[in-house]
Chain A
Amino acid sequence: DAMVIQNPRYQVTQFGKPVTLSCSQTLNHNVMYWYQQKSSQAPKLLFHYYDKDFNNEADTPDNFQSRRPNTSFCFLDIRSPGLGDAAMYLCATSRDLGAGTEAFFGQGTRLTVV
């Protein structure tokens, strides 16, 4: 059974039109992450939540925001998508922040901007 679920798997949005990607988890993990993966590149961390505490990576553009209304759900909001934001967006969870814990990834949402 899928433990980290991302919807939708494929999303097409118009240039400049706000879009929201969703992630849910059944693991009851404290930490949820959002990664961006552009074509032929490695995943790049955008931000993470530890419980309700939000932590933004220094180089994450302001265009990207996130919400975590409860333990199970986390959303990625792109306020004004540009062509350069076309990518796979990956959600991940981990039980804790310590180095001995592994992260579980969802299948990703592939975003196309037209």
Chain B
Amino acid sequence: DAKTTQPPSMDCAEGRAANLPCNHSTISGNEYVYWYRQIHSQGPQYIIHGLKNNETNEMASLIITEDRKSSTLILPHATLRDTAVYYCIVRPGGSNYKLTFGKGTLLTVNP
């Protein structure tokens, strides 16, 4: 499975956009990029996923570079409740079930 690299921590001001980068330079053609987050003492929560195209849902936007070697998760208006560890995960296509978590980025949203 392709490995991902994320900064260990980031800060963001409340109300501003939070842009969380992820490097996955060894990603292969059938691998998806997933983002989950984990608020302290809770289970991980699915945010968004994509293959090639940019994706948007009610929680966030996912921007994948054209070469697919990196991506950015965008929380458009961060709130204090968005403080969490954000995991970028590359998941193989087909029936490979594995969701392998890396170390993630601790995003702290400040008032």
With a CB–CB cut-off of 8 A, which chain A residues contact B42?
Answer: 107-108
Q: Identify whether the interface residues of B are mostly helix, strand, loop, or mixed.
A: loop
Contact segment of A12-20, A63-71, A78-86, A96-104: A96-104
Choose among B43, B91, B92, B100 the residue that contacts A45 (Cβ–Cβ < 8 A).
Answer: B100
With a CB–CB cut-off of 8 A, which chain A residues contact B31?
Answer: 99
Choose among B43, B92, B102 the residue that contacts A99 (Cβ–Cβ < 8 A).
Answer: B92
Most chain A C-beta atoms within 10 Å of own C-beta, residue among B31, B34, B43, B98: B43
Look across to chain B and name the residue whose beta carbon is closest to the beta carbon of A105. B43
Q: Report the Cα distance A99→B96, complex, angstroms.
A: 7
Q: Is the CB of B96 within 8 A of A104?
A: no
| Chain A residues in the interface with B (C-beta under 8 A) | 4, 6, 31, 33, 42-45, 48, 50, 55, 88, 90, 92, 94, 96-100, 102-108, 110
Choose among B93, B94, B95, B99 the residue that contacts A103 (Cβ–Cβ < 8 A).
Answer: B99
Within 65-98 of B, Cβ neighbours of A (below 8 Å) are at 87, 91-98
Look across to chain B and name the residue whose beta carbon is closest to the beta carbon of A90. B43
Closest 3 CB pairs of A and B: A105-B43, A42-B101, A102-B46
Could you pull out 5 A-B pairs where Cβ atoms are within 8 angstroms? Answer: A45-B99, A55-B97, A92-B44, A97-B97, A107-B43
Q: Is the CB of A48 within 8 A of B32?
A: no
Q: Is the CB of B98 within 8 A of A98?
A: no
> Would you give the shortest CB distance from B101 to chain A, in whole angstroms?
4
Q: Report the Cα distance A110→B95, complex, angstroms.
A: 30
B16 within 8 A of A: no
B45 within 8 A of A: yes
Q: Is the CB of A98 within 8 A of B101?
A: no
Q: Report the Cα distance A98→B92, complex, angstroms.
A: 9
Q: Is the CB of A99 within 8 A of B91?
A: yes
Most chain A C-beta atoms within 10 Å of own C-beta, residue among B32, B97, B101, B104: B97
Q: Is the CB of A42 within 8 A of B103?
A: yes
Known: A45-B98, A45-B99. A99 touches B104 (CB 8 A): no
